[in-house]
Amino acid sequence: MKYEKLSTEILENIGGKENINSITHCITRLRFKLKDEAKANTEAIKELDGVVTVVKSAGQYQIVIGNHVPEVYKEFIQLAGISEESSNSEEKPKGFLNTFVDIVSGIFTPVIGVLMAAGMIKGVLALLTAFNVIDKESGTYLIINASGDAFFYFFPLFLGYTASKKFGGKPFLGMAIGAALVYPAIVAANSTMEPLYTVFAGTPIESPVYITFLGIPVILMNYGSSVIPIIAATFLASKIEAGLTKIIPVMVRSFFVTFLTLMITIPLTFIIVGPITTWIGLLLGDVLAQLYAINPIIAGVIIGGFWQVFIMFGLHWGFVPIALNNYATLGYDVVMMAGLATPVAMAGVTLGIFLKTKNKKVKEIAFPAFLSALFGITEPALYGITLPRKKAFYATSAAVAVAGGIMGIFNTKVYINGGTGIFALPRFIHPESGIESSFIGFAIASGVAFLIGLGLALTIAYDPKQDAEEKKETKEKPEFLLNQEMGKNTLYELESPIAGEVVALSQIQDEAFSSGLLGKGVAIIPQKGEVVAPADGVITTLFPTKHAVGLITENGVEVLIHVGMDTVNLQGQYFDAKVSQGDTVKKGQLLLTFDIENIQKAGYSVITPVIITNTTDYLDVIDSKETMISASEPLLTVIS
């Protein structure tokens, strides 16, 4: 770990993990919300090698690191044992979709590793039995099957734990509810007893009744491997638990709250929640299956083509409970199927870039990313290779769309959860009939996706010039604005990205900027909410909240434009980016817009530092003597 020493020292001096409420990061700094700021040894942190300074502002304890803060952040949360999903747990998602995705990801993320491992075991077992390596009647089969199938059968217990944590209830209480749903005597009653009578006769939900509760008919369902019933039940339990906590005296609360919560929730789950959610799940699965059956080719193309986008925005989590529900109710899934070709397609594109590029750094990243994608881990390829190169990203989506269409032609179905990439193949083996059209369809689709991705990367989807090695210095004058040579020195003149009043950095109420620790430059009080490119270059950083943009000019000058102070807290509100990270831009091109009036009404200053972050690479940075400046007028002169 490159920043392990720095992360360890920060953790020690900040008061340990126990003192952290939440952590996030912006373009240059780690932003903590601490339980007690007095426990943090600020002076010691300021002296750490790799820390620029410490800023306390807007209720946050901010450790200024520099442009490589994302790497430090990742290593820090790993060292501290803080999951990326919970590191900013105090921030509540806004909107129904965001809330839904947050809930689903919070419930399933803790078990996703075991879920995939158990699925891979079942997939390997399916291969072994399909090729007659193992007999289904043997003890070997029984033990291997138990290794993979037990997790799915008792899935309600695991989800009871994670769902209770997400809903703010007692995790083991959720497990108790899950255990009740798959209790052997309840399962046996549903399969061996004679029905007492039938309810809802003549309707689609006609159901036999085997047992009653206080005379109330109980419609027993098969809750093994189920998803929706236990999530709904734990949500109900969390509300009942919270209500009982408020009304039961403290002296007997520890016993009676849990006792009464179980006594109320479990009967309600068997009588009402379980049957209704099971019927909803069956209806949902059937509707999706019918829609897929109408035109599986178009469905495969659409889902496959947009799968990368779903992953980027976290929307794929919304498909997870639907797919798991389909496995439990239908025995197969078609919702997430087309997306399973994504890793293989991405591997093809990444391999093509590896073979075509002449940039040593890109080659060093691309080959490991290719191998990772082939085995189902797409993040290194997505964020390191394809996403920064738009055509490569589009090529991957096109390849997956074609693969989805091919799977539609074969009417492909996926039968178990499990691995991705090449490890997804066993998931398409039919549990009873073995290798048939679904397996063949996915195998062909994956091969085609890989070849299309590879072919597009080698031809039209990737231009090696965009990753050309840095040119060695020559005696020729660089083509950049003023760029006039003075003896052995060269002057690079940068234009102003913003129109407004020019002030010294020292006037900023932020030590990291005002002291010049992040680099030399000036600050501008904007008159107009527009930021334009100060020179030709490439956008190296565009923070998701759009309040700051960094670019590197053709001559290697690194420029940071940070609109306002602490405006990261606006979470992108009042900002609109006109470019994306990795874009090549021209001098004067509009980069982003912002609403000055509303930002100020929200209580934030719009004073904007414009700094050269690699100041130490140059002899000096000289600012303009003008007090008022228009966009694209000379602002800074860098002496090399």
Q: Over the stretch 519-575, which tens digit does the pLDDT of each residue have?
A: 889 999 999 999 999 999 999 888 878 899 999 998 889 999 999 988 888 888 899
* Res 102: pLDDT: 66
Residue 66 amino acid letter: G
pLDDT in tens, 128-153: 888 889 988 899 999 999 998 898 89
Go through the domains of the chain in sequence order and give each one's CATH number. 4-91 (3.30.1360.60), 154-285 (no CATH), 295-467 (no CATH), 484-639 (2.70.70.10)
* Spacing of C-alpha 468 from chain mean position: 30
**What Cα–Cα distance (Å) separates residue 18 from each residue in 168, 308, 638?**
19, 36, 45
481 confidence band (pLDDT: 50, 70, 90): very low
Sign of CA dihedral 343, 348, 353, 355: positive
Q: What is the DSSP string of 206-262?
A: -EEE-EEETTEEE-----TT--HHHHHHHHHHHHHHHHHHHHS-HHHHHHHHHHHHH
Q: Is the pLDDT of residue 628 over 50?
A: yes
Phi and psi torsions of 24, nearest 5°: -140, -175
Nearest to 393 by CA among 337, 444, 457: 457
* Res 244: pLDDT: 93
Residue 19 amino acid letter: N
CA distance 617 to 612: 10
pLDDT in tens, 288-310: 778 777 888 998 898 888 888 77
**What Cα–Cα distance (Å) separates residue 75 from each residue in 4, 330, 444, 495?**
7, 42, 39, 37
Q: Is 430 a catalytic residue?
A: no
CA distance 174 to 172: 5
Set 25, 26, 316, 547: catalytic member: 26
CA distance 12 to 32: 14
- Residues paired with residue 490 on neighbouring β-strands, in sequence order: 485
Q: 3-class DSSP state for residue 14?
A: coil
Q: Is the pLDDT of residue 94 over 60?
A: no
Set 25, 316, 547, 562: catalytic member: 562
Region for 560 from its dihedrals, namely left if φ exceeds 0, alpha if ψ lies in -120 to 50, beta otherwise: beta
Q: What share of the chain is helix, strand, coil (3-state, %, to 5)?
A: 50, 15, 30
* Spacing of C-alpha 539 from chain mean position: 22
Nearest to 369 by CA among 385, 390, 356, 357: 385
Residue 247 exposed, middle or buried by CB count within 10 Å (0-12, 13-18, 19+): exposed
Q: 3-class DSSP state for residue 538?
A: strand
* Res 10: pLDDT: 93
pLDDT in tens, 573-611: 899 999 988 888 999 999 999 999 999 988 889 999 999
DSSP state of 516: -
Q: Is 316 a catalytic residue?
A: no
Q: At what angle do helices 96-108 and 320-329 cross, to 10 degrees?
A: 60
Q: Is the pLDDT of residue 474 over 60?
A: no
* Res 477: pLDDT: 35
CA distance 39 to 486: 53
Stretch 161-169: mean pLDDT = 90
* Res 33: pLDDT: 83
